């Protein structure tokens, strides 16, 4: 018997996609300095969570990104950027969770690249639908800075409910 143990870390593809999407979400907050800093802390949470296969750290990272998005909304950032940041937060969280699931189930060395890309693509498509729904709610309600966090929360809830059974 070989003495090699299975590495149950998330596959590299999911790790790269999850962190990459989280970075894109943070970059969309770049117009609002404090919000971008909070978003960057969220990206660190994602990285730590994916490195250690910690769902709690990934969720804290997502919370950091979402808090950065709400801060940017309260500071008056444009709604398209806020919707993009919200969608990126949910996609990064979903891809990271899926990567942790894959690592636990089949291990890091398994050939899962195609499944990871399909999952990330589907998650991204659903995020676009959720962002579109959030945009419609924002426009129908007449816009305004006070409504931005509510529209973001609506969009995020719809995305999470859609992505998780």
Give residue-wise pLDDT tens across range 110-136: 888 898 899 999 888 888 887 787 777
> Closest Cα to residue 87, out of 131, 136, 121?
131
Max mean pLDDT among 3-7, 34-38, 108-112 falls in: 34-38
Contact 78, 111 (CB under 8 A): no
* pLDDT value of position 158: 67
120, 125, 113: which is closest to 93 by C-alpha? 120
Identify the band that residue 1 occupies on the pLDDT scale cut at 50, 70 and 90. very low
Residue 93 to residue 88: CA distance in whole angstroms:
8
H or E element, residue 32: none
Cα–Cα distance measured from residue 72 to residue 30, given in angstroms and rounded to the nearest whole number: 9
Quick: pLDDT tens for 62-100. 999 988 988 888 888 887 888 888 889 989 999 999 999
Better-predicted residue by pLDDT, 158 or 124: 124
- Spatial CA neighbour of 72 closest among 46, 36, 45: 36
**pTM of the predicted protein model:** 0.81
């Amino acid at each position: 018997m070989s003495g090699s143990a299975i590495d149950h870390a998330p596959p590299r593809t999911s790790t790269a996609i999850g962190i990459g999407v989280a970075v894109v979400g943070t970059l969309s907050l770049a117009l609002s300095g404090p919000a971008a800093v909070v978003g960057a802390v969220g990206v660190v949470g994602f990285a730590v969570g994916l490195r250690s296969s910690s769902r709690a750290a990934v969720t804290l990272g997502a919370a950091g990104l979402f808090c950065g998005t709400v801060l940017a909304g309260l500071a008056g950032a444009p709604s398209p950027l806020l919707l993009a940041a919200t969608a990126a937060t949910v996609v990064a969280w979903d891809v990271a969770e899926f990567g942790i699931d894959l690592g636990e189930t089949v291990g890091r060395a398994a050939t899962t690249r195609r499944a990871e890309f399909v999952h990330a693509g589907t998650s991204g498509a659903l995020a676009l639908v959720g962002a579109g729904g959030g945009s419609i709610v924002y426009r129908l309600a007449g816009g305004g800075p006070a409504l931005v966090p509510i529209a973001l929360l609506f969009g995020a809830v719809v995305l999470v409910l859609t992505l998780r059974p």
